[in-house]
Structure 1
Amino acid sequence: MDMQQFVGGNEGFLRRYEYEDSWVVAADLGAFGDEVDVDIVGTTAIVVAEMGDRVTETEFELPGEDASVSTNNGILTITVQK
């Protein structure tokens, strides 16, 4: 397993794990919790989170196109099959 970790300007964490058959991208959504919309367009993930009058939008590239998305306990997980 290979892991990369990134920290955004607002101290949000994004980690990418590589396995034999897939990549897993995990992001800590913090206070937004499970209140997010995620769109996958090609190899780009677009994450829009809204809390009250505050809206945050983030885009990042995925290592492939065959992606599934889930959220649990404030963690966004995107699994991309190789």
Structure 2
Amino acid sequence: MNVETLNRETDALARRYDYGDLRVLAADIGVEDDRVSVDVVDDTVILILTGETDAQYELDAPEGDVTRAFINNGVVTVEVEP
């Protein structure tokens, strides 16, 4: 799944940013942090949402080496070094 598909399927606001030596994927999924887990396997970001409706989403990570992935205040952030 790409960022545009996540936006359509979840009403999330997701964007990719390039900051020279860092690429960032940020998705405001609008749920409480304790209801979401984020993990990265190879070049795939996996979001697992729990609660009233359980869901799993897989996103293509930006190309490069993922340095960290986390959620804070409902915003999933994946940082990648190109």
TM-score by structure 2 length? 0.79
| Counterpart residue number, 2:19 | 19
Structure 2, unaligned runs of 5 or more: none
Report the TM-score when normalising by structure 1.
0.79
Task: Give the structure with the higher percent strand.
Answer: 1
In the comparison of the two structures, how many residue pairs are matched?
A: 76
Question: For the residues of structure 2 that align with 1:80 and 1:46, how far apart are their CA atoms?
Answer: 15
- 1:66 maps to which residue? 65
Partner residue, 1:76:
76
AA at the equivalent of 1:9: E
1:66 CA drift (Å): 2.2
Larger Rg: 1
| Structure with higher RCO (Cα < 8 A, 6+ apart) | 2
Percent same amino acid at aligned positions?
33
* Contact 1:42/1:65 (8 A) holds in 2: no
Task: Show the 5 A alignment for 1:1-80.
Answer: 6=4, 7-30=7-30, 32-34=31-33, 35-52=35-52, 54-67=53-66, 68-80=68-80
